[in-house]
């Protein structure tokens, strides 16, 4: 997990560079939008602290997410609450990312979510 935490900031930096390059070349104008940090009870004494970054297809989609940020945050909390087995299992964070992508795409009217990233993801087990 330490390696993954080290790679996440690099991945976001790379995405920002790619998105900046797209804007200069007149290509697609992808944007990275932050949903912020969350602390949630995943069940069975497992607490999760995570940061959620959303890669969207356009600046307009990022602006739309800004307008519905409380609803987006609620969806993240719903997806992570009581999801201990799912999150700690193989491919758990990838599954969560896909689930959130689907949920958020259902909320957007303009643009679409391309991916959901977790720059910070910490599990704490309290017994």
Which CATH number characterizes residue 118's domain? 3.30.479.30
Phi-psi region of 9 (alpha: psi -120 to 50; beta: other; left: phi over 0): alpha
Q: What is the pLDDT of residue 28?
A: 57
Q: What is the pLDDT of residue 63?
A: 96
Cβ atoms 100, 93 nearer than 8 A: no
In the chain, the number of structural domains is: 1
| pTM value surpassing 0.85 | no
Q: Which domain holds residue 99?
A: 2-125
At residue 52, the pLDDT reads 97
What are the residue ranges in the chain where pLDDT is below 50?
A: 10-11, 13-14, 16-23
User: Looking at residue 88, what is its pLDDT?
Assistant: 83
pLDDT of residue 89: 82
pLDDT at 59: 95
């Amino acid at each position: 997990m330490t390696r993954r935490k080290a790679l996440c900031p690099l991945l976001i930096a790379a995405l920002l560079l790619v998105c900046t390059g797209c804007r200069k070349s007149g290509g697609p104008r992808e944007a990275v939008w932050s949903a912020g940090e969350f602390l949630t009870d995943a069940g069975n004494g497992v607490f999760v602290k995570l940061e959620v970054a959303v890669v969207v297809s356009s600046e307009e989609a990022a602006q739309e997410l800004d307008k519905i940020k409380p609803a987006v945050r609620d969806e993240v909390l719903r997806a992570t609450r009581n999801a201990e087995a799912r999150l700690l299992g193989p491919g758990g964070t990838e599954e969560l990312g896909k689930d959130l992508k689907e949920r958020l795409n259902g909320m957007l009217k303009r643009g679409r979510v391309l991916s959901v990233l977790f720059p910070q993801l910490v599990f704490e087990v309290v017994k």
